[in-house]
Structures are given as structure tokens and as C-alpha cells.
Amino acid sequence: MSKKEIFKLFEPELVREAVVESFKKLTPRTQIANPVMFLCWLGAILTTGIFVASVMGFSNEPAAFAGWTAVWLWFTVLFANFAEALAEGRARAQAAALKGLSKSTIAHKAVNAAEALAHVRELRPDIATEDVESTTLRKGDVVVVRAGDVIPGDGEVVAGIASVDESAVTGESAPVIRESGGDFSSVTGGTTVLSDWIIVKIECDPGESFIEKMIQMVEGAERRRTPNEKALAILLTALTIIFLLVTATLLPFSVLAKEIGDQGTIIGYTVLAGLLVCLIPTTIGGLLSAIGVAGMSRLMAANVIARSGRAVEAAGDVDVLLLDKTGTITFGNRSADAFKAAPGVDKNELIECALLSSFSDDTPEGKSIVKLAQKLLEKDAEGVTLPAGAAAIPFTAQTRMSGVNLPDGREIRKGSPDAIAHYAEARGFKVAQELRREVDAVAARGSTPLLVSENGRPLGVIELKDIVKPGIKEQFAALRRMGIKTVMITGDNRLTAAAIASEAGVDDFIAEATPESKLAAIRRFQKEGHLVAMTGDGTNDAPALAQADVAVAMNSGTNAAKEAANMVDLDSSPTKLMDVVKIGKQMLMTRGSLTTFSLANDIAKYFAILPAAFAGVYPGLAVLNIMGLTSPVSALLSAVIFNALIIVCLIPLALKGVRYRAESASMLLKRNLLIYGLGGVIVPFVGIKAIDMILTALGLV
């Protein structure tokens, strides 16, 4: 970890806040939530009482030993509180800027929302509006947002197109385009329109906006622990109870040994309290909560908001990724590249029908078809317009085609080859073999073929080109080494899907995907025992997102998708799903590594301090004091000090996380056992011996 990264972890303002919170967390109600640290807290109180009693002459135990033990036990509790408070402070600091976005602004509300929506295609930015406070807007209200205005609430663009500054939410300075139709119609309250205008239908009531929900999640009174974290807490509690019983029996045994054999000395309460804190797993117990908070904080740093810690943890266990082809595996800007006419069909007739069928298509593909058709028709394009009375036929996932019905009776459709083939057959036409071969040739090149028909008669093929992102194959190979299966989802036909899948290096693909097939695929994988992650942005993705174990919705997507998902990507980057999985695995690796280190530490401490600490009770143990610790008092005090300091040393690792490597689970286990297992055994011997030497040199023992 670089000095710059450490500085970010320990920013003065965050440290000051964490120090104050550390003392606030000393209340019994807070401490009892963590049984391990609760015992340490009780030990600190006990030794403090013994110190006061010794000073006042009410106890025979050495006052200095009791005092120093009490000081370091309090430090142990405070350091654990500090780790959790620092993690929580970092998360709050990351979300602090969002508070400004939730402030009230002036909204230009349509006087009659129902009438405005009924004539959405005729809407203009100068429709009748009234100025109201944004906090008074309700779901269903319609607002006009012009250049320079702040978008007053979360909603969907129903008309217009504008450049929007979302830097306050995403951190990206480059503006984005938001327009009606397609996958980029969702807008977030608090962002600013830079140019042009849009008309927005508000999709949430006051207090339910995306930003307000994020603030509530970050500043909630209590972070819910994940199942994995709860299971580890149960293990730590069990170990704590065992060592509590072991420690409790040492006092009567020492009394019995003194009475029967007149050997050794009776163990004091200070020794018992210090010994218990050293034996129980205080290291991981003190850092466990901080690791969980830091995991969600790292997600937030990546501009992903998790609705729960359970989602972050599940991301670390995911072994199947469902990835959209468009925008994730390919650049997503599919554009029309060529028109291939069917035998006996004039190419200009095909181009004109493709143009007419795409006038009402707001998708990037539809707009690219219009642009290419107008370019190829040149002057003839001036006479091609959508006549009055024409009825646009929108694309649906079920029909997989769109088009237009013209007043003269012509029905023009464009869509997937299978859908148009069925449409043509229902009207007495068949797709010619030459045209089918052309469709297969386009698909084999990795492009997307669309068929165009007029009154059911196939006219030809539109070729949409899509380019696989460079380096994506290497990313999938790294995921494969981690034991994660990648599945590409696309609405393309099987030939196109197979070509793209082969080029990208995914393990499997789902072609001609519908909302039902996505949902069925997730359920099938889950039934086989897999944990599934997917990403989506449309309303038709909502059922599958709700079913997936880890569901990442795009912030630019629909509100239905964001409500169904358990994570939201503020950057609206489809590839962010892979980063989410890596962060989840890093959190689990961090927890596992620190648990390994903590348990190895405890084992080493047993062999380091028990012989020295109990030589006075059982003189025969002196031969096992291989470290040559000065005395039982110095041995125990050195262990208590080491126990407190090691928590401080591990705070940066708990917050930053263990370095992530794209390796298999077995390789990660071997690496962690070598570094954190062996390191956890060696460090206590070195640390306790060094502290013992310092205490002896200073004459404190």
C-alpha cells in the first residue's frame, strides 16, 4: 500500500471523527453486540477496578501491573471501535456530497399532466407550467426542464433530448445524452441539463428518490450483518466461551495446587483478565464489522450503491455471470452498415421501406438506419416522409419486430429474421433461400441481420455491425480461472450470437433472449446450485433482476429495473458487473485472510506466553519458555500490548482490502495460508519478544 493510499485512509478530519466515535461506542449497549470485544471491555473495567483497589490498599495485586494492563485493555477496545468508526466515517464522507443534491429546487410543473402525456408527441418546452418546489412533486407529475435547470426528481424522459451533467452523482465530468425511448430515458434528481430541453414524468414521491434512499442507507442507525459475517461471529463467540471457561478454571486449579503441594502462587484476577483477552480472537473480533462496512464503501468508491451487505457478500460467491452482449461485450453502438435486397426486389425499394419503418424508432439502431438510408437515397430521400395518419408499431420483446402501418394500407415491418419469417408465412409469403443464405452470412460475420417486409413480402436484409471490445476476452479468461462461468445474453439469432460468443471467449450464450428466457435461465442455474449475477437496465429486465442473487441495474435505466435490483451502478457501465464481483470476492478474501491471521496469532500467543505466564504456578513449564521472556508479568503485559497494537496495524488492510488476484479458490487458499497463516504464527513471537525487551529496558516490569 502506497503512502498516498494510507493518507487517504487516515485523513485528519475522518480520524478526528473516528476518535470521538470510538469513545461514544464504549456504552454497554454498543459493546454487547460484539461478544468478543464485550469481554475485553469487561476485562478493562475489572483491571481498572483492581488498580484503584490496589492504590487504596484494598487489594494485594501489584498496582502498576494492574494499571498498565487496564490501560492496554482500554486501548484494545478503543482501537476496535476506531476501526469500525473509521470505516463508517469513510462511507459517510463518500455520500456527503449527495446531500446537496436532495435540496429543494424550483420545478416547472405542467399544469395538466394527463393532457400533456396524452399529446406527448406534440409537446413543446413552452407548454403551460407553474413553478413549484421540487419537494412537492408527486409520482405522475410532468415537468419541463430547460438548459441550466436542475432536474427536480427521478423520472423518465417522455419527450425531448438533452445533454445532462451527472457528475454530482457519478463523478464523471463528461455529459451524457438523455432522450425519450431506448435505454437512456431515465434521469436522476439533482443532475443538471446543459443544453436543449426535456419533459420528464416524475416516478417517485417525496422521500423516495434514488439519492434520498442512498443517503438513508449510508446514514442508517445500524448496518445489517451478512449471513457469512453472522456465521463467523457465531464461531468467534463459541471460541470466546471455550476460552472463558478455560480461564475461569485456572484460578481454582492454582488454589488447589497451592493447598495440596504448596507449589507456585495463586493466579491473580489481573492475570486472568489479561490472559482471557489474549486467548480469545480479539483481532478479527475487533475488525469484523469494519471489514463489512469497508466492503460496501469500496463499492461506493466504484460508483455502485449496494442496497444491503448481503448483496456485497453474494457477489463474492457468484459463479455464473449473465452479461448483455450490447454495451458489455460489444461497444453497443450497433449501426446500419449495408442493405441487401432479396431476389427480384429493387434495392431502393428496400431502403425506402427500411426508412419508413424506422422513422418512429427511437433506438440508436433505428436512428442509424434512417441516417444510412437517407445517405444512400440522396435527393430521393426528400420525398420520403412519414405521412399523416401513419401508425407506428413499437418493438416488443415478444414480437421482436417493429414498423409502421401507412394510410394507403401498406404494412411495413423490420425485425429478427425468425420473427419476420413467421410474419411473412402468416400472410402467404416465404423467405427465399438466397435471402436466408444472406441472413446466415451476415450472422456468421458477427453482425446482426434484420429482415424488412412489406405486407408480408420479404424485401431484404439490413446488416447492423457491432464490434467486440478489445481486451474483453482476457477478462473472461481471468474470470474462468476464478471458477466463474460467463453467459452472454442477446436478442440476436443463434448464428450471430455464436460468432460474437466465440470472438469474445464467453463460456455460453443465450440467443433470441426474451424476459421469460432470461428468468428461466437464472432459475435453472440456481436450481443447479449456482449463485447468479446479472445486469440490466430495462423494464423487461426487472423479473430477471429480481430473481438473480446479485442484480446490478444501470442508473440510466428504468425505475422498474432499479427497484428490482439490489445494486445500482451510477456510471451505467454494463461492464461494472465484473468489478462488483471482484470487490465482493476481495471482501470475502479480506475477511478470510484476517481470520486466518487472527487464529494463527492466537495459537502462537499460547506457545509464547503460557509457559512464561504460568511458570510461577506450574514451575515445570519454565523449560518451555523458549523465547526467554523476562518474567510472567512482562510476558503477559507484552502479549496484552501486542494484542492492542496488532489491531491498529491491521486497520489499513481491513479498510483497503487484501490485494485481489484472478486465481482459483485453491490457489488463493494456498497463498493466504502461506502469507497470513505462517505470518500470523511468526509475527507474535517477534512482536511479543520485542515488547518484552522494551519493557525490561525501561524498567516497567
Active site residue ranges? 324
Would you say 240 is a known binding-site residue? no
Would you put residue 37 in left (φ > 0), alpha (ψ -120 to 50) or beta?
alpha
State the distance between the two ends of the chain, measured CA to CA, in whole angstroms. Answer: 36
For 688, counting Cβ atoms within 10 Å of its Cβ (0-12 exposed, 13-18 middle, 19+ buried), the class is buried
d(CA 397, CA 271): 72
d(CA 41, CA 31): 7
3-state secondary structure of 478: helix
Would you say 402 is a known binding-site residue? yes
CA-nearest of 369, 377, 384 to 338 is: 369
3-state secondary structure of 365: helix
Would you say 397 is a known binding-site residue? yes
d(CA 528, CA 551): 19
Would you say 192 is a known binding-site residue? no
Would you put residue 162 in left (φ > 0), alpha (ψ -120 to 50) or beta?
beta
Residue 424 near residue 453, CB atoms below 8 Å: yes
Would you say 400 is a known binding-site residue? yes
CA-nearest of 543, 553, 568, 548 to 487 is: 548
Q: What backbone torsions phi and psi does residue 575 show, to the nearest 5 degrees?
A: -80, -5
Cell reading at 302: 466504484
Would you say 399 is a known binding-site residue? yes
Would you say 541 is a known binding-site residue? yes
- Residues with Cβ within 8 Å of residue 357, at least 6 apart in sequence: 402, 403, 404, 412, 413, 414, 452
Would you say 365 is a known binding-site residue? yes
Which residue reads 457477489 in cell numbers?
Answer: 315
Cell reading at 62: 501489584
Please, what is the Cα angle at 48 between 42 and 51, to 5 degrees? 145
Residue 682 near residue 604, CB atoms below 8 Å: yes
d(CA 672, CA 508): 32
Q: Which amino acid is at 191?
A: T
Q: Annotated binding site: which residue ranges? A: 361, 365, 395-402, 414, 537, 541
Q: Annotated binding site for ATP: which residue ranges? A: 361, 365, 395-402, 414
Q: Annotated binding site for Mg(2+): which residue ranges? A: 537, 541
